[in-house]
Amino acid sequence: MDGIHDMGGSHDFPASLTERDEKVFHAEWEARAFVLSNTFTGAGCANVDQFRHAIERLDPEVYIGDGYFGRWLGSVELMITDANGQVAPGRYTEHRAARELVAPPLFAVDDIVKTKNYNPPGHTRLPGYVRNRTGRVELLHGGWVYPDTHAHHEGENPEHVYSVRFDGNELWGADAEPSASVTVDLFESYLELA
Amino acid sequence: MTHEHEHEHEHDPRAIRTEALERLLVDQGLITSAAIDTIIERYETDVGPLNGARVVAKAWTDPEYRARLLADGTTAIAELGIGGPQGEKMVVVENTPAVHNVIVCTLCSCYPWPVLGLPPAWYKDPAYRSRVVREPRKVLSEFGLTLDDNTEVRVWDSSAEIRYLVLPERPASTTGADERTLAELVTRDAMIGVARIDA
């Protein structure tokens, strides 16, 4: 889905980055929300793609205002609400996402590929800023569970994943910074030969 | 920066909501409060950038390990007994005078927990997530790292389950230093790619 979470290249957050050292957790509730969220998915009440999609479904103001661990908390609450308050462990027991594939990869290193103009209303790991863009295959990663269906109870449907490098000018136009690129990990369904 | 730190008093609604979730999951028998304490302590003390620093220091002192690490990060990192959630497949990218790599996750905040621990606040900040893919040189300069125009910048957006670790350049002044001494020089930020290592 197109939403607040898909931040790559957005102009909405212009703040400068200032480095600072810090504790792992800023408050006790952050630490407990972190462990409880991992407990919920670890017990198989939901898979990681459902967890990420529930974060994306939070109200945009909540997404920003509640912060990172607040979003984790909100995601688990939303999934429990979806299930009418029921907590059902054991539904998802395989937490590793890598899968052996029989089908060979469609693309090879150095192939020039184009991302599809794909804008699904549900979960996807194709960021908006690399849709309908041309890049070069950099790495092949084997088969992985497909988040776009796995987040919606529509099965694992594993696919080959590729690191695809996009030149800065292809993404941002003539004003892009010089000799800069972004490499993004993309599922085979997102790609076609250019 | 975000508003993450504005509501840290004891009546923070997120603290109250967390207590309710804890009661529910404890009642369901999924975890105990004592087990939560133990896991928190592990993330606060054991899991952190020290693991990544050991990997980097070994790669700096052992050319064969460095070659294995760059060829198959997951297996080479596992040689040191390091692995776990958010480290299922690791790719290590090497910084050189010609190429500078930097890591981000624009869609959420994916991060290689087994080698670096949990991400710092700035890594999760909308400003970093949105800006580093569009203007990496400017963002790096705000971290105090000004790159030569001839240095190519490669940003890696970890949008699937593969996690990335930057192998920083070894400072020239450390010739002859042993692995343990070197590991103490390696910073979290250098392994994300927003800093160099000075010595």
The ipTM, to two decimals, is 0.97
A153 and A71 within one domain: no
- Assign 3-class secondary structure to B58-102: HHHHCHHHHHHHHHCHHHHHHCCCCCCCCCCEEEEEECCCCEEEE
A31/B130 CB distance under 8 A: no
Domain, as residue range, for A152: 98-193
CA distance B99 to chain A (A): 10
Q: Is the dihedral of CA A37, A38, A40, A45 positive or negative?
A: positive
CA atoms of A78 and B121, how far apart (whole Å) = 24
For residue A71, the domain's CATH number is: 1.10.472.20
A68 and A152 within one domain: no
CA-nearest of A167, A114, A111 to A137 is: A111
A88 and A147 within one domain: no
At residue B9, the pLDDT reads 53
A140 and A64 within one domain: no
Tens digit of pLDDT for each residue in B32-76?
A: 999 999 999 998 887 789 999 999 999 999 999 999 999 999 999
**Residue A167 in contact with residue B155, Cβ under 8 Å?**
no
A145 and A109 within one domain: yes
For residue A127, the domain's CATH number is: 2.30.30.50
Q: Per-residue confidence at A18, pLDDT binned at 50, 70, 90?
A: confident
Tens digit of pLDDT for each residue in A90-144?
A: 999 888 999 999 999 999 999 999 999 999 999 999 999 999 999 999 999 999 9
SS3 assignment, position A147? helix
Output phi, psi for B167, to 5 deg: -90, 105
A79 and A165 within one domain: no
Which CATH architecture is the domain B49-192 placed in?
Answer: Alpha-Beta Complex (3.90)
Q: Name the domain count of chain A.
A: 2
Last residue of a domain, one of A63, A93, A123: A93
Chain B positions in Cβ-Cβ contact with residue A97 (cut-off 8 Å): 88, 161
Last residue of a domain, one of A93, A124, A144: A93
* Residue in B120, B151, B156 closest to A183 by CB: B156
- The C-alpha R_g of chain A, in whole angstroms, comes to 19
Identity of the amino acid at B1: M
A87 and A13 within one domain: yes
SS3 assignment, position A187? strand
A64/B118 CB distance under 8 A: no
Please report, for chain B, the start and end positions of each structural domain, with discontinuous segments joined by +. 13-45, 49-192
A114 and A84 within one domain: no
A1 and A87 within one domain: yes
